[in-house]
């Protein structure tokens, strides 16, 4: 079986590659580049699952017969902001906003929110679509708090302001392996791996 990652985000690719590699699956893992690049997808759905399925379906249209497309739609949700930015996480500060612009927009929006009410969570919805069109979705959430000042150099996106429950460091202060143990992407990917192992038996 050949698995194709339906994402253009290099950080997601790196995290997914590492999680899949440690699972010891008998599969080939490719990026969308192997199929000519990730097709343009308008992420206009109001749910992570909806957008993940759109991205996976777009790449699945290009799959070989033994292929499986895997897309990741993810983001951060702040409880005090009615779960914003959620599906808008990648463009919270505008259409061409950088990760840093988005992070500071989140901090601005939460400025008047007291420390006790800064609960939030990362969500990752993975959608897998095979060449026959079979669709399956796997969900992971990582709950914690959104702090006031960025800390740490690892990870990407909103990692420097997110401290998982039961921890004191941000996910940007953790190694990739530590983050993968508890992250939304780690949880969703381990569900996907368990499903894939059954399917390959």
Catalytic residue numbers read 73
74 is a contact residue toward ligand ITT (CB under 6 A): yes
Among residues 4, 56, 57, 72, which is the contact residue for ligand ITT, using CB under 6 A? 72
Per-residue x/- mask for ligand ITT, residues 7 to 46, rule CB under 6 A? Answer: xxx--x------------------------------x---
Which residues between 81 and 110 bind ligand ITT (CB under 6 A)?
Answer: 89-90, 99, 102
Least distance in Å: CB of 109 to ligand ITT? Answer: 15
- Candidates 4, 121, 158, 192: give the one binding ligand ITT (CB under 6 A): 158
Site string for ligand ITT, 111-140 (x = CB under 6 A): -----------x------------------
The answer to the question of residue 159 lying near ligand ITT (CB under 6 A) is: yes
Count of residues that interact with ligand ITT, criterion CB under 6 A: 22
Interior CA angle at 91 toward 4 and 99, to 5°?
Answer: 80
Considering only the stretches 17-25, 69-77, 105-113, 132-140, report the one whose residues sit in contact with ligand ITT under the rule CB under 6 A. Answer: 69-77
């Amino acid at each position: 079986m050949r698995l194709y990652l339906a994402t253009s985000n290099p950080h997601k690719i790196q995290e997914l590659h590492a999680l899949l590699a440690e699972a010891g699956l008998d599969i080939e893992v490719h990026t969308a580049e192997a199929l000519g690049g990730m097709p343009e997808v308008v992420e206009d759905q109001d749910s992570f699952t909806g957008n993940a399925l759109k991205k996976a379906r777009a790449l699945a249209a290009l799959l070989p017969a033994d292929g499986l497309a895997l897309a990741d739609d993810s983001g951060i949700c702040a409880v005090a902001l009615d779960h914003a930015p959620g599906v808008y996480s990648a463009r919270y500060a505008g259409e061409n906003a950088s990760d840093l612009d988005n992070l500071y927009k989140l901090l601005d929006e939460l400025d008047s929110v007291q420390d006790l009410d800064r609960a939030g969570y990362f969500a990752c919805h993975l959608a897998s679509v095979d060449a026959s069109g079979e669709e399956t979705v796997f969900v992971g959430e990582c709950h914690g708090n959104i702090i006031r000042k960025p800390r740490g150099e690892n990870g990407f996106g909103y990692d420097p302001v997110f401290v998982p429950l039961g921890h004191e460091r941000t996910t940007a202060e953790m190694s990739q392996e530590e983050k993968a143990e508890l992250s939304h992407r780690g949880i969703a990917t381990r569900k996907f791996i368990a499903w894939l192992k059954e399917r390959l038996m």
